[in-house]
A and B are shown apart, each in its own frame.
Chain A
Amino acid sequence: MTDDPTGGPGQEPGRESGRVPLPEDSMPKGGVNAPVDVAAAATPAVDPRLIVRQQGLKGYVQEFRRRVSSGELGSLPVIIALIVIWVVFGSLNSSFLSAQNLSNLSQQIVGTGMIALGVVFVLLLGEIDLSVGSVSGLCAAIFAVMDVTHGVNQWVALVCALAGGAAVGLIQGFFFAKIGVPAFVVTLAGNLFWNGLMLQILGSQGTINLPGDDIVSKLYTTIYGAQIAAYGTAAVGVVLFLASQLLDARRRQTAGVPSRPPLDIALRTILLAIVAFLAAYTLNQYKGLPLALLIFLIFIVVLDFVLRRTTYGRQIFALGGNIEGARRAGINVSWTRISVFMITSTMAAVGGLFLAAQIQSASQTSGGGNLLMNSIAAAVIGGTSLFGGRGSTWSALLGALVIGSILSGMNIQGLSNALQFMITGAVLLAAVVIDSLARRTQRAAGRA
């Protein structure tokens, strides 16, 4: 426990001058932990979340160095990793960075990414769900059997598949939260059980092909070819971001609490606009905006809102930080845990449907193979901590992009499965190592 990381020199003046030491004397006089007067009259003009960013661009550099040295890496390692991966594979084979490959990549990552999105939730609790792979296969099978074999209305089949995912989460969450079985064991047992149930449902046929004109297939295959689709989506995203930032800044100003400076908002918006329009341009170079990617982005934004701006999301973070504290604050711990497991399983179902649409069938191998590992890896690589309480839904996108890029690049290079497995495993280990090291540094810097 570091009481006062930079406060050593701060105590000297009080002793030297012989006056009565004030509480302030023990507080650091400079650096990050320098006290900000919280009195309303002395409200600083800058958002305190930005602590040292008061000095424009120079402040950004300082803030950046401070974050790196104190282990608050956030999405930084994954963005660097992504750039390195793209540069390496791009230099090995020019077709990797082609619009066609990147467009395909943006579709291929959706299945894994959706599952990873659910895994983010369970990781925020500091728990793990090892059944997501099997659950995704099971729900794809539920849809395929109902829709194709039994001819049920496809919307009913879709709802049943998603409800099946939620039910799995309810059962696993119950055993974890109410009975007290470790989540690791519950979901490991679930992994086997749901896989068995999927084989049972698929029956003797083994593989059920999707007709191709059903909604699930369309979710994946639909690509909006009009130029306006991709550019319009990018523009809407940027405008929404800017509007929410400006609105927030104005509300903060009227309430007299510090707000983001306009320069900061402008920089963020410009950065977002560059990324968004570059992506839209690339997609338009090939076929256009895939519906799957659009749905994935909508899921990310909505769930991000749930996590950061609702009481429920706050409860999830609180549980990941301190269970006893959450309990004493009156949070219904069991229900929050069960509901998080339900979200994870439901997102696994969503991912499973996209994956089924991708291969146009539900088969005995659905949800098997590396899927479980890749989904968890995507969430962790993206920057969500395995230790709970830290993370964001955007890590699912970033992580899925990294995993997808590596797989795509290795396929283009024609690497064998043996090598692919080893490299993917090494990347996952690297991500967890970074997470552990960052956590240790944060502790040392008094930020964990």
Chain B
Amino acid sequence: MEGPPVLALRGVSKRFGAVQALTDVELEVPAGEVVALVGDNGAGKSTLVKAIAGVYVPDDGVIEWQGKATSIHRPQDAQHLGIATVYQDLALCDNLDVVGNLFLGREIRKFGVLDEVAMEKRSRELLSTLSIRIPSVRIPIASLSGGQRQTVAIARALVGNPKVVILDEPTAALGVEQTAQVLDLVERLRERGLGVILISHNMADVMAVSDKIAVLRLGRNNGVFDRRATNQEEIISAITGATDNAVTRRRARGQEGQQ
């Protein structure tokens, strides 16, 4: 790995009233890698993602962007840096067509007038480089299937040429075939050299496309695993905390004693 990771979190903490949502969380997202973020409900995945996306400001810790400490106070800050987030509820406008949705909020204009031709051309280029197949770029979102909507939402995140894409449960509401389409798309994002943070509850999806798997448990890091060197059981025990039992504690004590 040459150079610093495109995005890194160092000792990030976040507290809501009496709840310590995140404690000293570390996370590194290198360019061209898919980092899966897994954990039980309430482990702090969403809080962490929102801290990166600028929805929450961390109480403590540093967010590094391409090796330099930066501060993200608003969602716009994250977008300007090059962090695109695809939330679980896709927030597409059903009544607008695919082109309208892809460019919503950053329309291409010519003399103050929408340049539909240029937008349509770029939409087609974007969709074809991602090998996304939809009936037509001029069809309203309402007439697309769930998987097609998800791919449009991901493509929309790419319109601003981000360096890091955060996908929040992209396959949660999808069937088998549509999930496969979305996972293909995740791999193509990696091939384009983007850093991808993938949040998922589905172990099979995580094992299929990720390079690294970061486990959160009760707001703390509970291990970062290399996908090629781990298995599903190990991840699940890290998620559930099954690694933290009498046996592992005795083993840990034993190692300390040896040192």
Residues of A within 8 A of B (CB): 1-4, 7, 11, 21, 23-27, 32-40, 43, 47-49, 51, 248, 251-252, 255-257, 309-311, 314, 317-318, 320-322, 324-326, 328-331, 388-390, 442, 445-448
Stretch at the interface among B24-32, B142-150, B209-217: B142-150
- Assess A447 versus B140: contact at CB under 8 Å? Given A317-B95, A326-B104: yes
Stretch at the interface among B122-130, B189-197, B218-226: B122-130
Known contacts A48-B136, A252-B120, then 17 further A-B pairs from the complex at CB < 8 Å, ordered by chain A residue: A3-B178, A26-B147, A26-B178, A37-B133, A49-B138, A51-B136, A248-B117, A255-B118, A310-B112, A314-B96, A317-B100, A326-B93, A328-B91, A329-B105, A330-B106, A445-B143, A447-B140
Residue of A with least CB distance to B113: A309
Asked if B121 and A256 make an inter-chain contact with CB atoms under 8 angstroms apart, the answer reads yes
Q: Which residues of B contact A389 (CB under 8 A)?
A: 93-95
Asked if A251 and B117 make an inter-chain contact with CB atoms under 8 angstroms apart, the answer reads yes
Q: Which residues of B contact A442 (CB under 8 A)?
A: 142
Asked if A48 and B139 make an inter-chain contact with CB atoms under 8 angstroms apart, the answer reads yes
The reply on B236 being an interface residue by CB < 8 A is no
Asked if A1 and B146 make an inter-chain contact with CB atoms under 8 angstroms apart, the answer reads yes
Report the separation of the CA atoms of residues A153 and B127 in the bound assembly, to the nearest whole angstrom. Answer: 59
- Assess A329 versus B104: contact at CB under 8 Å? Given A257-B120, A322-B94, A447-B142: yes
The reply on B114 being an interface residue by CB < 8 A is yes
Q: Which residues of A contact B136 (CB under 8 A)?
A: 36, 48-49, 51
Report the separation of the CA atoms of residues A3 and B174 in the bound assembly, to the nearest whole angstrom. Answer: 9
Given B100, B133, B137, B139, which contacts A24 in the complex, CB threshold below 8 Å? B133
Given B75, B93, B112, which contacts A325 in the complex, CB threshold below 8 Å? B93
- Assess A448 versus B94: contact at CB under 8 Å? Given A26-B177, A48-B137, A442-B142: yes
The reply on B89 being an interface residue by CB < 8 A is yes
Residue of A with least CB distance to B104: A329
Asked if B91 and A34 make an inter-chain contact with CB atoms under 8 angstroms apart, the answer reads no
- Assess A318 versus B135: contact at CB under 8 Å? Given A23-B177, A389-B94, A389-B95: no
Asked if B95 and A51 make an inter-chain contact with CB atoms under 8 angstroms apart, the answer reads no
The reply on B187 being an interface residue by CB < 8 A is no
Asked if B91 and A324 make an inter-chain contact with CB atoms under 8 angstroms apart, the answer reads yes
Given A7, A314, A328, which contacts B114 in the complex, CB threshold below 8 Å? A314
B128 CB, nearest partner CB in chain A, Å: 4
B152 CB, nearest partner CB in chain A, Å: 12
Residue of A with least CB distance to B90: A325
Asked if A36 and B94 make an inter-chain contact with CB atoms under 8 angstroms apart, the answer reads no
Asked if B114 and A311 make an inter-chain contact with CB atoms under 8 angstroms apart, the answer reads yes
Report the separation of the CA atoms of residues A33 and B98 in the bound assembly, to the nearest whole angstrom. Answer: 14
The reply on B57 being an interface residue by CB < 8 A is no
Q: Which residues of A contact B6 (CB under 8 A)?
A: none
Asked if B117 and A322 make an inter-chain contact with CB atoms under 8 angstroms apart, the answer reads no
Asked if B132 and A38 make an inter-chain contact with CB atoms under 8 angstroms apart, the answer reads yes
Report the separation of the CA atoms of residues A256 and B123 in the bound assembly, to the nearest whole angstrom. Answer: 12
Q: Interface size class for chain B? A: 35 or more
Asked if B93 and A318 make an inter-chain contact with CB atoms under 8 angstroms apart, the answer reads yes
Residue of A with least CB distance to B109: A311
Q: Which residues of B contact A328 (CB under 8 A)?
A: 75, 87, 91
The reply on B41 being an interface residue by CB < 8 A is no
Q: Which residues of A contact B175 (CB under 8 A)?
A: 3
Asked if A35 and B133 make an inter-chain contact with CB atoms under 8 angstroms apart, the answer reads yes
Q: Which residues of A contact B125 (CB under 8 A)?
A: 40
The reply on B92 being an interface residue by CB < 8 A is yes
B43 CB, nearest partner CB in chain A, Å: 24
Asked if A321 and B95 make an inter-chain contact with CB atoms under 8 angstroms apart, the answer reads yes
The reply on B20 being an interface residue by CB < 8 A is no
Asked if A317 and B96 make an inter-chain contact with CB atoms under 8 angstroms apart, the answer reads yes
A392 CB, nearest partner CB in chain B, Å: 12
* Leading 10 A-B pairs by shortest Cβ distance: A329-B105, A321-B93, A325-B91, A48-B136, A389-B95, A321-B95, A49-B138, A26-B177, A330-B105, A39-B128
B70-115: which residues lie under 8 A (CB-CB) from chain A? 75-76, 79, 87, 89-96, 100, 104-107, 109, 112-114
The reply on B205 being an interface residue by CB < 8 A is no
Q: Which residues of B contact A24 (CB under 8 A)?
A: 133
The reply on B180 being an interface residue by CB < 8 A is yes
Q: Which residues of A contact B116 (CB under 8 A)?
A: 309
Asked if A35 and B134 make an inter-chain contact with CB atoms under 8 angstroms apart, the answer reads yes
The reply on B169 being an interface residue by CB < 8 A is no
Report the separation of the CA atoms of residues A38 and B137 in the bound assembly, to the nearest whole angstrom. Answer: 8
Given A7, A33, A251, which contacts B143 in the complex, CB threshold below 8 Å? A33
Q: Which residues of A contact B138 (CB under 8 A)?
A: 47-49
What are 7 contact pairs spanning A and B, CB under 8 A?
A2-B145, A26-B145, A32-B143, A33-B135, A252-B117, A257-B121, A317-B93
Given B87, B96, B137, which contacts A318 in the complex, CB threshold below 8 Å? B96
The reply on B243 being an interface residue by CB < 8 A is no
Given A1, A252, A314, which contacts B107 in the complex, CB threshold below 8 Å? A314
Report the separation of the CA atoms of residues A448 and B95 in the bound assembly, to the nearest whole angstrom. Answer: 7
Report the separation of the CA atoms of residues A309 and B139 in the bound assembly, to the nearest whole angstrom. Answer: 17
B182 CB, nearest partner CB in chain A, Å: 10
Report the separation of the CA atoms of residues A38 and B134 in the bound assembly, to the nearest whole angstrom. Answer: 8
Report the separation of the CA atoms of residues A325 and B92 in the bound assembly, to the nearest whole angstrom. Answer: 6
Residue of A with least CB distance to B91: A325
Report the separation of the CA atoms of residues A446 and B140 in the bound assembly, to the nearest whole angstrom. Answer: 10
- Assess A309 versus B89: contact at CB under 8 Å? Given A51-B135, A322-B94, A389-B95: no
The reply on B66 being an interface residue by CB < 8 A is no
A253 CB, nearest partner CB in chain B, Å: 10
Q: Which residues of B contact A321 (CB under 8 A)?
A: 93-96
Asked if A322 and B135 make an inter-chain contact with CB atoms under 8 angstroms apart, the answer reads no
Q: Which residues of A contact B89 (CB under 8 A)?
A: 324
- Assess A320 versus B95: contact at CB under 8 Å? Given A4-B145, A24-B133, A34-B135: yes
